[in-house]
Structure 1
Amino acid sequence: MSRYFTQEHEWIEIDGDVATVGITEYAQSQLGDIVFVDVPIEGRDLTKGDEAAVVESVKAASDVYTPASGTVFEGNAALSDNPGLVNEDPEGDGWFFKLTLRDESELEELMDEDKYAAYVAKL
């Protein structure tokens, strides 16, 4: 499995042609306590950069963009009952949605873990 990151603090983990998407530890720490998450519905086609989900915290609401193009086949239903999962495990159980990748070459424009860590260190 490979994991990539965006400058908007989304992560995408690739396992074959399945991509799991969420927000990073840094993003959730900036948002504070998450109170609501709206994930995309199954079957929704997304193009890289599309607004895919919404996350609301006690501080602000924020859009979550898809780091790659594809078709959503699962939204994380657990987040509707427990949006705090994003705070507890943003890069694990707090994932937002899974999609079938349409164009793997789009991943080349994203940062790997080391580049993302260096990017966050400058913020």
Structure 2
Amino acid sequence: MAERHRISFPSVARIWRRWKIQPHRIETFKFSTDPALESKLGGVVGLYMSPPETAVVVNIVGIFFGDITRQCLKRGAFSSVKELEETMERYIENYNQDAKPFTWTKSSDHLLGKMKRKQAINTEH
């Protein structure tokens, strides 16, 4: 990009950082090489579509901790534990105002079809 626009690489890097552009993350999905992927995927999707209650709670907690880490804590700078706690409490209050239940809507066959199509497209390049 720097060469194409006749600017320095550090200039491109500064622009990307300023606008939070991460072109290296556009295609981050990696296909599993696990030969048992199809049977495992069926089990995972089945768990989401007809889950035991404890598995749902564990998954929801995991999703929430990932969200709060990315959206609230990752780039934060806190001068005290109290400030950190207040920031997290504000985040949780806002999160709860817009919270919606998660519903799994795709079957494992649908997901496998999408994955196979994506793999076929990637191997053509």
- TM-score class, shorter-chain normalisation, is under 0.3
* TM-score (normalizing by structure 2): 0.22
Higher relative strand content:
1
Please report the TM-score for the alignment, with normalisation by the length of structure 1: 0.22
Query: Which has the larger share of helix?
Result: 2
